[in-house]
Amino acid sequence: MKKVSSINLKFILIIILLIGVIVGSFTINFKGNSETQATFKAQNINDIIPKPLSYKKGAGKFILKKDALIYVKGNSEKETEEIRKIAEFLRGKLKPSTGFELNIIKGDNPPAGSIYLTTVGGEEGMGNEGYRVITTPEKVEIIAYKPEGLSRGVQTLRQLLPPDIEKSAVVTNVEWSIPVSTIDDKPEYGYRGLMIDVARHFFTVDEIKRQIDHAAQYKINKVHLHLSDDQGWRLEIKKWPDLTTIGGSTQVGGGPGGYYTQEQFKDLVKYESERYVEIIPEFDMPGHSNAALASYGFLNPDGKKKPLYTGTKVGFSSFMTRDEKTYAFIDDVIREVSEISPSKYIHIGGDEAEATKKPEYDYFVGRVSEIVKKYGKTPVGWDPIDTSSTIDSSVVLQNWKDSNTVAREKNMKMIISIAKKAYLDMKYNENTPYGLNWAGYIPVETAYKWDPTDYAPKELVLGVEAPLWTETIADVKAMDYMIYPRLLGYAEIGWTPKASRDWNEYKIRLEKQGERMKNQGINYYNDSSIWGTK
Ligand code: TNX
């Protein structure tokens, strides 16, 4: 009798277990895809873009409260002061939505409830941009080898908080919590860039700051400004003021154009350096130079100024390549820029010089590269600059066409910006209201599914850059639409190793970023393949 009942008990237990399993799996199926993904996600991955190298989730959470303190401590007083500025940036980002006025304190041993930013204990292997975020119920600690790493870690911290953190007005019904977790992170490439063409259409300093602020949250660390083209010259050069008063006076379509004074440029550079973003100035030569040729007659063979140009054709203008007046002028430009631009790079253009014969082009880019080097900077040029006999591995190639054989032979370092993958001015599809399509359509998926090593050997790759040419982009709304969400993909291609990237998994994280972008007022392209039709 006893034996029978124990068998029965086992049987009943098995039945209960089986029912449990069936009901459980049914619930998951019934709940549908998104919730299943959410459950999976909560346990195993996070929403962060670019995806960190490693993320481990524990039990519990840290809750940010209104009396929280931000402790900062560097390896020297100077470093502590630098970290204090990063803490100020963080406080500024957390304030609008939380309403909290977090106090910043120089010191270690933060009390429970604090955020702690420190380079003490940071390891050299983390590199300049690597960081670790350790979240426990008591505190959030970001450790890095350099303050720059802390600034990248702070961008990650924003993404660990609920999306409401990005709202610009106080939200009261939210718990500002971060799951207990440890993140170890560092980038694959040191160059993760965005280019903005401010020559075809001019954008103000504030518009550029806003754009860079948004890009920096995804750890973009280089912003290349295309400061001159046929349609406009956008940076004051004190020795040659007509460059901006005449050359900067219009834009595509004939609008009023504009330019940056050197003071404004310095202010922009300083603002971005506080976000650890480097500004790289470009003057496009010998082609794309009509705005300069329209400003000064002496730059032209007949001594007369060219008319200003407001169309969108390329390849018709050229500096005189065998006239020393040209080089004296360029020397002045490069000298003045090198004095106000801390970046080690100066971009000299070199693309689409169809009005310059090949031997003249070669001579010209060689001479201009020497000028750039004379002022202590590294020249960067678009292809085909690599094909010039005057150019060697002291020059960086920005590769936009799918051809860099000569650059490879010369061991030139490269920034990969292949037009058919990385051009932000290409339309997403035939319905995109702005942009061009000469390099094809670039849907969000295409923008994500490539790697710089598809185009060049890894040891030559400095990183990636996504250029926004602005022939058809006249305002901030259009700019946002073309940049977002594709820039998140480019940022991840530059940051996260190829082996850790997968479109299907990325898509889930991208979907989550939609709410954050919306909260920040970014007019992103609301792609139905990512966000559905809601
Ligand atoms: C090619 S890419 C250009 C630009 C145009 C762009 C338009 C490159 C180095 N030159 O002058 O604005 O196409 O997509």
Which tokens sit at 167? 């709202």
Residues annotated as part of the active site: 352
Spell out the residues 6+ positions from residue 420 whose beta carbon is closer than 8 angstroms to its own.
402, 426, 439, 440, 442
Q: What Cα–Cα distance (Å) separates residue 130 from each residue in 185, 458, 474, 495, 496? A: 5, 20, 37, 11, 12
Instruction: Please choose from 424, 468, 469 the residue to mutate so as to test ligand 1's pocket, defined by most ligand atoms within 8 A of CB.
Output: 469
Spell out the residues 6+ positions from residue 75 whose beta carbon is closer than 8 angstroms to its own.
119, 120
Instruction: Please choose from 314, 380, 397, 423 the residue to mutate so as to test ligand 1's pocket, defined by most ligand atoms within 8 A of CB.
Output: 314
* Rounded Cα gap, residues 499 and 261, in angstroms: 45
| pLDDT at residue 229, as a whole number | 98
| pLDDT at residue 7, as a whole number | 52
Q: Whose CA is closest to atom 6 on ligand 1? A: 469
* Rounded Cα gap, residues 44 and 52, in angstroms: 13
- By the 10 Å C-beta count (0-12 exposed, 13-18 middle, 19+ buried), 5 is classed as exposed
Beta strand segments in 128-277, E: 131-135, 140-144, 177-185, 191-197, 222-226, 228-229, 232-233
**DSSP per-residue string spanning 487-529:** HHHHHHHHHS-GGG--HHHHHHHHHHHHHHHHHTT------HH
* Rounded Cα gap, residues 435 and 442, in angstroms: 11
Is the Cα torsion angle 527, 432, 423, 283 positive or negative in sign?
A: negative
Q: Whose CA is closest to atom 9 on ligand 1? A: 351
Query: Residue 326: how many CA atoms within 13 Å on its side-chain side?
Result: 19
Q: Biggest alpha carbon distance in the chain? A: 117
For tokens 């001015």, what's the residue? 425
Q: What Cα–Cα distance (Å) separates residue 444 from each residue in 198, 215, 427, 468, 503? A: 24, 17, 10, 15, 10
Domains of the chain are 43-185 (3.30.379.10), 191-527 (3.20.20.80)
Local confidence pLDDT in tens for the 534 residues of the chain: 344 455 565 555 555 555 544 444 333 333 333 433 333 344 345 799 999 999 999 999 999 999 999 999 999 999 999 999 999 999 999 999 999 999 999 999 999 999 999 999 999 999 999 999 999 999 999 999 999 999 999 999 999 999 999 999 999 999 999 999 999 999 999 999 999 999 999 999 999 999 999 999 999 999 999 999 999 999 999 999 999 999 999 999 999 999 999 999 999 999 999 999 999 999 999 999 999 999 999 999 999 999 999 999 999 999 999 999 999 999 999 999 999 999 999 999 999 999 999 999 999 999 999 999 999 999 999 999 999 999 999 999 999 998 899 999 999 999 999 999 999 999 999 999 999 999 999 999 999 999 999 999 999 999 999 999 999 999 999 999 999 999 999 999 999 999 999 999 999 999 999 999 999 999 999 999 999 975
Which tokens sit at 286? 């010998």
* Rounded Cα gap, residues 454 and 255, in angstroms: 40
* Rounded Cα gap, residues 108 and 116, in angstroms: 8
Q: Which atom of ligand 1 is nearest to the CA of 426?
A: 14
Length of the chain: 534
Q: Whose CA is closest to atom 11 on ligand 1? A: 314
Angle at which helices 147-160 and 77-98 cross, to 10°: 20
Q: Is 471 in the pocket of ligand 1 (CB under 6 A)?
A: yes
Is the Cα torsion angle 57, 60, 64, 70 positive or negative in sign?
A: negative
* Rounded Cα gap, residues 284 and 382, in angstroms: 9
Least Cα distance to 237 among 177, 178, 145, 299 occurs for 299
* Rounded Cα gap, residues 168 and 180, in angstroms: 26
For tokens 């998104």, what's the residue? 34
pTM of the entire predicted model? 0.91
Q: Which atom of ligand 1 is nearest to the CA of 470?
A: 12
| pLDDT at residue 15, as a whole number | 56
Q: Is 230 in the pocket of ligand 1 (CB under 6 A)?
A: no
C-alpha gyration radius of the chain: 27
Kindly give the distance from the C-alpha atom of residue 469 to the centroid of ligand 1, in angstroms, as a whole number.
7
Q: Whose CA is closest to atom 2 on ligand 1? A: 400
Amino acid at site 395: V
| pLDDT at residue 402, as a whole number | 85
How many other CB atoms are found less than 10 A from the CB of residue 411?
A: 11
Number of H helices, E strands in the chain: 17, 17
Strand order in the sheet with 115-118: 54-63, 177-185, 131-135, 140-144, 115-118, 69-73, 103-106
**Helix or strand run (H / E) with residue 60:** strand 54-63
Query: Residue 436: how many CA atoms within 13 Å on its side-chain side?
Result: 16
